[in-house]
Amino acid sequence: MYKIKSTITTTSSNSSSMNRIFKLFVATQVAILTQHHPSSSAEIIKDFGHACDGYDGILRLQSGDPPADAASVFFMYTINQLIYAQMYNLLPWVHYDYYGEVYDSSMHPFSMTSFKMMEGARVGYNDDDPDYPYPSKPVYDQSKMNENTFLIKGNGIWNQYFRPVVNFHPDPSCFSKPYLQLNHQQIKPGIKYNAPWAVRAYQYSHGSKPWQKTNPNFAPREGQSLHNWYGEMRVRAALIVKKHYKLQPWLQQKVDQINPIRKGIDKPCLALHIRRNSNERSLKTMMIHDFTPYVQTFVEEGGDIIYISTDSSDVFQYIDKDWPTSITSLIRKNPLKDINSINNINPNFELVEDHHTTNTRVLTDIYAMAKCDLLIHGFSPMAEAAMYLNIGLHEHSINLEDPNHKNVDTFRIMVNLVQEKATSA
């Protein structure tokens, strides 16, 4: 059973003590992340015929709300459903429907498959706060359970980019198990806004109604820094990512091509995620000049690899014009489709004309940023995903949209510490 530990309540008088305790907590969780998890492809194949043994049922994971961008679908929505599955001992089967921003009709061809499982189980709701409903323990009423044939469309999209989380279909050990899936309301606003255990890219808000924004009970507590608020979620998500996420070889190869970091040979890498566009009304356009002094500091301290991920062509136009060649010559970026020729683009490269290229670009950018040792960013599911993949970035990142973010002098110390650690490794 997956349990979410409640964290230590803080006040302004003990925030310094809390920071020390939190760093110890993060260090402990990072150690856990290095342990073996039985989810490699070889082990999944080996488990065929027994995939559902010991589980109470199957949870089919959906892609979330249709307008969701690729980073939100592949990471935020999927991780939260994986957390739910782990909490309630359900085997997670990632199989997205054919709709929304990650579906590409040319790359995800239509097909139909079927399998038999038990229907009649349903996802329950929390009873602690009716104003903020979210999915809770499944309800298994044996009198309503019966065998049914389920028709499923497509290949699920996920397996095109990632290794399967489980080798579910058509495993005979699953035929007698209940089949469940979360509906759209349970995913959003249910989990996304209301669940106490959910991971979030920021405090969501798309309107004035209570159900249109994150439950205020799950905002940073009194005396808790925004950095530590994020840290709790990042560690939780990193545990899930470590266990379940592994790129398909063709995509991993692209990541290694665009940011070929050689551990023990190359100096630490600085990643920038510069968000210029957003459909989220609570987020503002990030200004490139806010990143400039941090980049200059990194180069002054001997840094020589800078990876930039952005959603707007004007970023590189500005950089090429205003940054010296001593910096621009160190920049790496995603070569997939010339961003300067792209129109109709949203914050995570969602291109209406080619969603597969969008998916590929977003995922390679996330994984390329995760190969770095330092990260400068704003509120973004892409930046969060990079930290889920490399939890060490949590203490070596600066969110420029955090009102209390670290200044350039503190960043200089951070760069030196990272470099010393790399040298002594």
Examine residue 241 and state whether it is found in any structural domain, yes or no: no
11 in a structural domain = no
Query: 203 lies in a domain?
Result: yes
| Apex 92 CA angle, 161 and 143, nearest 5 | 145
Tell whether 213 and 267 lie within a shared domain.
Answer: no
Q: Is residue 4 part of a domain?
A: no
Q: What is the mean pLDDT of the chain?
A: 84
CATH number of the CATH domain containing 271: 3.40.50
In a domain, 6, yes or no: no
Question: Do residues 221 and 264 share a domain?
Answer: no
Q: Are 94 and 61 in contact (CB under 8 A)?
A: yes
Boundary of a domain, candidates 211, 226, 241? 226
My answer on whether 52 and 160 are in the same domain is yes
The total number of structural domains that make up the chain: 2
Task: Give me the residue label for tokens 């307008």.
Answer: 67
Q: What pLDDT is attached to residue 19?
A: 58
pLDDT of residue 294 exceeding 60: yes
Question: Which is it for the CA torsion 343, 344, 350, 356, positive or negative?
Answer: negative
How far apart CA 413 and CA 351 sit, in angstroms, is 39
For residue 165, is pLDDT > 80?
yes
Looking at the structure, tell me whether residues 219 and 159 fall in a common domain: yes
CA atoms within 13 A on the CB side of 321: 8
Residue 239 lies in a domain: no
pLDDT greater than 50 at residue 39: no
- In this structure, the answer to whether residues 59 and 189 fall within a common structural domain is yes
Q: What tens digit of pLDDT does each residue of 192-219 get?
A: 999 999 999 988 765 666 556 778 888 8
Range of the domain at 322: 249-424
Calculate mean pLDDT across residues 97-105: 88
**pLDDT tens-digit series, residues 301-352:** 999 999 999 988 789 999 999 999 999 999 999 987 544 334 444 444 444 4
The pLDDT of residue 345 is 45
Domain identity same for 87 and 139? yes
Domain boundary (193, 211, 226) is at: 226
360 with 207: CB under 8 angstroms? Answer: no
**Same domain, yes or no: 213 and 356:** no
Q: Which two tokens stand for residue 268?
A: 């630490």
Instruction: Tell which of 226, 258, 293 closes a domain.
Output: 226
* Residue 396, domain member (yes or no): yes
Output the pLDDT for position 279. Answer: 58
| The pairing of beta strand 374-377 with beta strand 270-274 | parallel
Tell me if 35 is assigned to some domain. Answer: yes
With helix as H, strand as E and coil as C, how does the chain read?
CCCCCCCCCCCHHHHHHHHHHHHHHHHHHHHHHCCCCCCCHHHHHHCCCCCCCCCCEEEEECCCCCCCCHHHHHHHHHHHHHHHHHHCCEEEEECCCCCCCCCCCCCCCCCEEEEEEEECCEEEECCCCCCCCCEEEEECCHHHCEEEEEEEECCCCHHHHECCCCCCCCCHHHCCCEEEECCHHHHHHHHHHHCCCCCCCCCCECCCCHHHECCHHHCCCCCCCHHHHHHHHHHHHHHHHHHHCCECHHHHHHHHHHCCCCCCCCCCCEEEEECCCCCCCCCCCCCHHHHHHHHHHHHHCCCCCEEEEECCHHHHHHHHHHCCHHHHCCEEECCCCCHHHCCCCCCCCCCCCCHHHHHHHHHHHHHHHHCCCEEEECCCHHHHHHHHHCHHHHCCEEECCCCCCCCHHHHHHHHHHHHHHHHHC
**Amino acid 341: pLDDT:** 39
Identify whether residues 210 and 254 lie together within a single domain: no
65 Cβ neighbours under 8 A, 6+ residues apart: 100, 184, 187, 188
Tens digit of pLDDT for each residue in 124-159?
999 888 888 999 999 999 999 999 999 988 889 999
91 lies in the same domain as 181: yes
Tokens of 203: 């405090």
Antiparallel, parallel or unpaired: β 112-119 and 146-153 = antiparallel
pLDDT of residue 99: 83
Tens-digit pLDDT profile for residues 233-287: 999 999 999 999 999 999 999 999 999 998 888 999 999 999 877 655 556 778 8
Q: What is the pLDDT of residues 360-396, one digit of tens each?
A: 999 999 999 999 999 999 999 999 999 999 999 999 9
pLDDT at 45 over 90: no
If asked whether residues 337 and 222 sit together in one domain, one would say no
Instruction: For residues 132 and 277, state if they share a domain.
Output: no
User: 256 and 192, same structural domain?
Assistant: no
